[in-house]
Chain A
């Protein structure tokens, strides 16, 4: 059992936690904006798997991680555009369409992957890391937290950006109005549909990016259904965070830690099924819901399509 205490083991555990947390963070931050604007984006899982697939294919053929991230985000935005058209513009049921998009894109990416790579699962090379000067040299923490791909730091920086957007910008105010009282936003002269569409597109971009990271950096390969509920976890994180980006980060790290322990336990040769550890984050969430559920607050108009003049 000495392996648990060693510095390298701890560092690997933390490193894995961050790696696993990043896709959840990106998805959670993205979903948070949709929910703020009043759209329950159940299709986020579909956006993530699209991002994962396109991100992987593009990185695989171009050899560029950055092109992979860009393509992944673009794929997510494309799916989000369809979702926005159906659910925001013409007001179809957000849950029905969300589930349809998720199922369809999981199937489609699996199908495309099959015809492209048959049954082989080619790997990408390990992503180059950008150590942060000085900080990266701290024992244990340095190699765990400050030797990651640049996109990781950008993802964490997004938390700050989102706080600024929600607290300080006109767009942030408009978003909250679109979720809490869309009619008020409309009569104030701002197009509710456009505001919500922007939020959904942002969600798509973030989810696509998260998917691309998950495939390219986290796993180094694409396998069908690789997101395995990460998008749904993003929804949960966004709901629990009650509109605060910081709590999405905290939640993502908790989940990431649990996921990382799965791998770590295997490395350490602990003889319990990975399923037990996989259950931990969900158990944690359910416990949080049982304890704090009553206080979870959601936008008043969440899930309700906006129609001007409807009474």
Chain B
């Protein structure tokens, strides 16, 4: 399986590259050949070491061991500007454009400071690069006004403006629509046809199989396997996916088969939302008369492209965002008038997707983070005074029940991994009297083991008769456990589809604006 490639010459070669961070080995003796004319997919779960590898190739980090060869000669990549001068351009997972500058100014970013940006020359070069690739770029537009897909195209053009021979795309599809992903695939194809090398990083098997000429699999910092072009071409897609799964997880595919929890007989609506509207803000869409009902033990999925009002819906339900009109009824009781704490006490829980940004206080201990939403409430506080022994005992209990891997309950929560922080949040939201739970992208950024565990947890609580609103941008996830799937688009629900045969296609059509 490791026979040498036939096509292309290696532009960049990694030999035994090792990078350590406090407590972890992010990359452990990684060998890799990156060749011209190939889309080289780097596949791996979160924490497999993909981002660290990219950081070293783009000059942000230096390896602790091993060497990096460029055109066969050893070259330490000292800084981002050095990487650029070596012809290595990177489009990072989180976009690296300055929102307050125009596209032209962003493209000019990085010129020597004493030079004047030459607008006319820039426009000519951009046109020269972008036109054959089918990209349209409005140089005068401010970046904050562009869609995420357009911003990504600007970044790709910027990398090409620098005469990159190697283009690295880090998790480039996470923000794109299905159509945008297909367009990116076609763009990568055109780039490698012109002799560039493309490194495409993803954790999605399907994209790897669809776009890759060569696939390398990273696992726990190690390169655990490679599928060279000739073998890749000879395999059926299904067989290919099975082979990659075997490399990634060392287990059979289908672990996360569709499994919809059985519904309890009681079909009364537990959570009912009528005509909920929220005003739009400069940076977020509003909600327009959202209505739905979720029964006991039912999982209602909310599908849609990111940024269509999902977060606003979750926040409005949780009481975090002011609603203009509409009502929220939980178990027959109106909870419109209640604030976040009041709704929580009634049993409405909201698990945020932004675990570190708003879900937890990173510098606070795990124990306090369990109870962040009930500060001051008995029995952990008595007349407003903290009862540290009770808090600690209860925190230990939750840590055990929810299997949070932490050195101790006094460890700052920010030091835990994403999966364990998610467990802290789940413990907080599910403990003590939950009736309806809103999950916002519950598996976003988690590795497979934690993803599967989280999904099973959601099925379990539905099995216990709770109402679940599952917001996700991952259609497979919704199809794997929801009873019904509603589609949100520009702040309104455009349709609801019962899960079953053909549901995926119908939801997909709703998402791109075609009636199901």
Per the CB under 8 Å rule, do A and B touch in the complex? yes
Number of A-B contacts (CB under 8 A): 76
Ranked 4 nearest A-B pairs via Cβ: A189-B81, A188-B110, A171-B113, A184-B96
Does B269 reach chain A (CB closer than 8 Å)? Answer: no
Q: Given A168-B116, A180-B100, A181-B96, do A190 and B60 touch, yes or no (CB 8 Å)?
A: no
12 contacts between A and B (CB under 8 A): A168-B116, A169-B113, A170-B113, A173-B109, A177-B109, A187-B60, A189-B84, A189-B110, A190-B81, A190-B110, A191-B79, A309-B61
A176 & B90 in contact (Cβ 8 Å cutoff): no
Interface of A is mostly: helix
A170 & B61 in contact (Cβ 8 Å cutoff): no
Bound Cα distance from A257 to B81, whole angstroms: 48
Contact bitstring A172-206, B, C-beta under 8 A = 1, else 0: 01101100110111111111000100000000000
Does B98 reach chain A (CB closer than 8 Å)? Answer: yes
A177 & B98 in contact (Cβ 8 Å cutoff): yes
Query: Would you give the shortest CB distance from A118 to chain B, in whole angstroms?
Result: 47
Within 8 A of B (CB), among A134-183: 168-171, 173-174, 176-177, 180-181, 183
Bound Cα distance from A191 to B61, whole angstroms: 14
Within 8 A of A (CB), among B88-102: 90, 92, 96-101
Identity of the chain A residue whose Cβ is nearest the Cβ of B110 in the assembled complex:
A188
Bound Cα distance from A195 to B99, whole angstroms: 19
Residue in B98, B100, B113 whose Cβ sees the most chain A Cβ within 10 Å: B98
Does B58 reach chain A (CB closer than 8 Å)? Answer: yes
Bound Cα distance from A309 to B60, whole angstroms: 6
Residue in B80, B81, B90, B112 whose Cβ sees the most chain A Cβ within 10 Å: B80
Does A308 reach chain B (CB closer than 8 Å)? Answer: yes
Contact bitstring B102-141, A, C-beta under 8 A = 1, else 0: 0001101111111111000000000000000000000000
- Size band of the interface chain A makes with B: 20 to 34
A residues sitting closer than 8 Å to B (CB atoms) are 168-171, 173-174, 176-177, 180-181, 183-191, 195, 308-309
Does B293 reach chain A (CB closer than 8 Å)? Answer: no
Identity of the chain B residue whose Cβ is nearest the Cβ of A190 in the assembled complex:
B110
Identity of the chain B residue whose Cβ is nearest the Cβ of A184 in the assembled complex:
B96
Bound Cα distance from A55 to B3, whole angstroms: 73
B98 & A180 in contact (Cβ 8 Å cutoff): yes
Interface of B is mostly: loop
Q: How many residues of B contact A (CB 8 A)?
A: 30
Identity of the chain A residue whose Cβ is nearest the Cβ of B107 in the assembled complex:
A188
Bound Cα distance from A244 to B250, whole angstroms: 59
Identity of the chain B residue whose Cβ is nearest the Cβ of A173 in the assembled complex:
B105
B90 & A187 in contact (Cβ 8 Å cutoff): yes
Query: Would you give the shortest CB distance from A184 to chain B, in whole angstroms?
Result: 4
Query: Would you give the shortest CB distance from B107 to chain A, in whole angstroms?
Result: 9
B113 & A174 in contact (Cβ 8 Å cutoff): yes
Bound Cα distance from A183 to B60, whole angstroms: 10
A308: B residues at CB distance < 8 A: 60
A173 & B80 in contact (Cβ 8 Å cutoff): no
Bound Cα distance from A176 to B98, whole angstroms: 8
Bound Cα distance from A181 to B155, whole angstroms: 15
Within 8 A of A (CB), among B26-63: 55, 58, 60-61
Bound Cα distance from A258 to B100, whole angstroms: 35
Q: Given A176-B101, A180-B98, A187-B96, do A169 and B116 touch, yes or no (CB 8 Å)?
A: yes
Q: Contacting A184 at CB < 8 Å: which of B58, B97, B113?
A: B97
Query: Would you give the shortest CB distance from A190 to chain B, in whole angstroms?
Result: 6
B80: A residues at CB distance < 8 A: 186-189
Residue in A174, A183, A184, A309 whose Cβ sees the most chain B Cβ within 10 Å: A184
